[in-house]
Amino acid sequence: MMTTKEIINDLQDYYLLALRGLAGMFTRPFYFRDAIDQMDYAGAGSFPIIVLVALFIGMALSLQLSAEFGRLGLRMYTGKAVGITVIREIGPVMAALVFTGRVGAGMASELGSMVLGHQVDSFRVFGVDPIKKLVTPRLISAIIMLPVLTVIGDALSILGAYYIVVFVSNQSGYVYWKSIRDVLIFENIVAGSVKPFIFGFLIASISCYSGLTTMGGAAGLRQATTNAVVLSIISIIISDFALTRILLYMLGFSV
């Protein structure tokens, strides 16, 4: 069990690492090649999983809403409900959770094994700042690729829902697309597109911190990876609530 002092020390170290990682984006030297490699791993590598998960989440959501709205005689609102739910809430959170499981865990275990194998010490001995070399490219990659994956995931969830609405629930495709077009307003798009940037930063910074503080061999590596995933998920869920509250207020929605 950690003491309060240890928790405060850990938080302080995490904030310092996150800030130095961010500052690394604006100061030389720039490790472009590392950032591109990380973007390839995080973006292209996660694409098939996002496609699969988003498609089936869209279909499941559409089934649930069609069934419930059908009982109330409001089936024509399925498209609108799907659009709002996916764009504002489920899309960003779903993409962030998939990203955590694949990319966050990968970052923590990779950095953890680099720490245990003295590769991070080697960087320091060679005068290379490990935060600029290892953390900044991962932050850049997550901040850019998670929003891209979220947009792709949103589109595929809406497409999956379309299949259920039209071919299973036998509703009009025209009405569905019109409902989707109606929800694609500035407020909804902003409400859904701000979140992935924040989630990407949180996932990458938490995972890098967990990886770089790995101690104690294979068991330590397992602990670091678990910490990265668990802490990222908790921070995504809590920050999602906070961001939703703030964005709804800022965009003029009444609750």
Partner 1 sequence: MIKFDHVCFSYGERTVLNDASFFIDSGERVAILGGSGEGKTTILKLILGLLRPDSGRILIDGEDLTDKAESELRDVRMKFSIVFQEGALFDSLNVRENVAFCLREYSKLSEEEIDRRVRELLRLVGVEHAIELMPDELSGGMHRRVAIARSLAVCDPAMFLYDEPTSGLDPVNADTICRLIIDLSKNEKGFIIVTHKVYDAMRVAGRFMFLKGGSVVFDGNRELLLQASIPDINIFMSELRGVCDN
Tell me, what DSSP letter sits at residue 30? P
- Give min distance, CB of 91 to partner 1, in A: 32
Residue among 73 and 127 whose Cβ is closer to partner 1: 127
- Give min distance, CB of 149 to partner 1, in A: 23
CA distances from 33 to 17, 39, 88, 133, 207 (A): 21, 10, 33, 10, 20
Distance CA 223, CA 219 (A): 6
- Give min distance, CB of 117 to partner 1, in A: 6
CA distances from 140 to 30, 36, 58, 90, 211 (A): 11, 9, 29, 23, 17
- Give min distance, CB of 61 to partner 1, in A: 39
Residue among 66 and 207 whose Cβ is closer to partner 1: 207
- Give min distance, CB of 3 to partner 1, in A: 12
DSSP H helices in 42-135:
45-72, 78-84, 91-99, 105-116, 119-125, 130
The CB-side HSE value for 66 (13 A sphere, CA atoms) comes to: 20
Residue among 12 and 122 whose Cβ is closer to partner 1: 122
Site for partner 1 in 27-86 (CB under 8 A): 37
Site for partner 1 in 76-135 (CB under 8 A): 114, 117-119, 121-122, 124-129
**3-state DSSP assignment of residue 214:** coil
Binding residues for partner 1, total number by CB under 8 A: 13
- Chain contacts with partner 1 (rule: CB under 8 A): 37, 114, 117-119, 121-122, 124-129
